């Protein structure tokens, strides 16, 4: 057994897994409503903004870049949003449009996401509610996965079946750049730029 995955005792190195961490520990890793709106804008400009129930498979493939699947109404999830309004996304084998067979970018879901089959990606998966990931074949997510679980506090699962794996490999560079598909640098938030007149 790998000592890094066991509880820390008597001066050992800190464990890679921390249990019972307070919810506030994750605040730095979650997006605000304003930040989600900015990502929606990028996805709209990219032609990769969807609403409601969406299935990505060999007939409806994922293009590289920022993919945002929003609630049915297009509103961000609040305490009063009915779960029937949440996005419900499924990703199956053959979903990647890129000829390499690996999706590069960010997938943001304002609801729940289920990944099954041999799905490979570099980048970030961000799910406002719950995530279910059951891999087969050579599936792998290289980057980062964030599941906020705003309603379903114990529903996120990452499972491996006998036919393959559900591998998540933390890769900061892939997460930050979306496998080279996410623009880097600064941008102007709409409505905030002002040009001073000479007169």
pLDDT tens for 88-125 read: 999 998 999 999 999 999 999 999 999 988 899 999 99
Per the domain annotation, does 199 fall within a domain? Answer: no
Whether residue 21 lies inside any domain: the answer is no
pLDDT digits (tens, 9 = 90+) for 131-170: 888 877 788 899 999 888 888 655 555 554 445 577 888 9
The reply to whether 17 falls in a domain is: no
Question: For the range 188-197, what are the long-range contacts, defined as Cβ-Cβ under 8 Å and sequence gap of 24 or more?
Answer: 189/38, 190/41
pTM of the model: 0.81
168 within domain boundaries: yes
In a domain, 165, yes or no: yes
Tell me how far CA of residue 162 lies from CA of 27, 103, 165, in angstroms. Answer: 35, 24, 8
Find where tokens 């800190």 sit: 14
Is pLDDT of 18 > 70? no
Q: Does some domain include residue 189? A: no
Quote the domain boundaries for residue 132: 27-177
Residue 80's φ and ψ, nearest 5 degrees, are -100, 0
Is 186 a domain residue?
no
**18: in domain:** no
Number of domains forming the structure of the chain: 1
Q: Which of 130, 133, 128 is nearest to 153 (CA)?
A: 130
Q: What is the mean pLDDT of the chain?
A: 83
Question: Backbone phi, then psi, for 141, in 5-degree steps?
Answer: -110, 115
pLDDT band at 51 (very low <50, low <70, confident <90, very high): very high
Q: Is 27 helix (H, G, I), strand (E, B) or coil?
A: helix
């Amino acid at each position: 057994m790998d000592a890094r995955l066991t509880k820390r005792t008597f001066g050992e190195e800190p464990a890679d897994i921390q249990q019972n961490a307070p919810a506030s520990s994750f605040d730095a890793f979650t997006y605000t409503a304003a930040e989600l709106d900015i990502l929606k804008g990028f996805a709209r400009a990219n032609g990769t903004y969807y609403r409601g129930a969406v299935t990505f498979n060999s007939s409806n493939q994922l293009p590289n870049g920022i993919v945002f699947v929003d609630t049915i109404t297009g509103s961000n999830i609040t305490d009063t949003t009915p779960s029937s309004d949440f996005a419900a996304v499924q990703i199956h084998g053959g979903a990647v449009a890129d000829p390499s067979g690996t999706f590069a970018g960010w997938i943001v879901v304002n609801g729940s996401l289920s990944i099954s089959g041999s799905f490979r990606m570099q980048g970030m998966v961000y799910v406002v509610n719950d995530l279910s990931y059951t891999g087969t074949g050579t599936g792998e997510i290289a980057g980062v996965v964030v599941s906020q679980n705003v309603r379903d506090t114990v529903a996120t699962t990452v499972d491996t079946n006998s036919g393959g794996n559900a591998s998540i490999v933390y890769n900061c560079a892939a997460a930050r750049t979306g496998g080279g598909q996410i623009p880097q640098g600064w941008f102007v938030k709409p409505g905030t730029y002002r040009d001073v007149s000479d007169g």
